[in-house]
Amino acid sequence: MVLRSLMTPSRYGISRFSDDPFLAIQRALQRTFDDALSGAPANFTEAASMSIRLDVKEDEKTYTVTADLPGLAENEVDVTFEDGVLTIRGEKKIARDDKKGTWHLVERSYGSFARQLSLPVGVKADAIEAKFDKGVLTITLPKETEPQKSAKKIQIKNGS
């Protein structure tokens, strides 16, 4: 089973946990190119804070996607599943008063965000569930239950 993150408008690919330093370099380069193409900030810290952080788990019956969305409510997040692609999108609005006082540090990010995941064939679209609790979105995507198919030998014919 392979999960992959789609190029638009995602910033981070999904892969199994790894300590491979080359994989970390590849991710950093991918973020740089994604940021340049999307018009996002080039600063790695700021760009990283604007993205949706995900965990994806698979067992024999389901895929489970968990996303950290601090500072948002469930009515500010939209989740869709179409043609094998799970999309999580929303917008975090600016909640600060610029009329009084002087800001010395602004690290919290605001604005629209979206993340798309291409999932393998076999997700029961009508049984997908999403829960939102304390800024954590958990999406459960049940797998289709198919009977085990037996192997079939394919006869190779001579081309002449």
Predicted local distance difference test score (pLDDT) of residue 38 = 56
Predicted local distance difference test score (pLDDT) of residue 46 = 40
Predicted local distance difference test score (pLDDT) of residue 151 = 66
Predicted local distance difference test score (pLDDT) of residue 140 = 94
Q: How many domains does the chain have?
A: 1
CATH label of the domain that carries residue 132: 2.60.40.790
pTM: 0.59
Predicted local distance difference test score (pLDDT) of residue 92 = 83
Nearest C-alpha neighbor of 41 from the set 4, 14, 69, 11:
11
Domain of 121? 4-142
Look at residue 159 and tell me if it is in a domain.
Answer: no
- The sheet carrying 77-82 orders its strands as 4-5, 111-118, 85-92, 77-82
Under-50 pLDDT residues of the chain: 1-17, 40-49
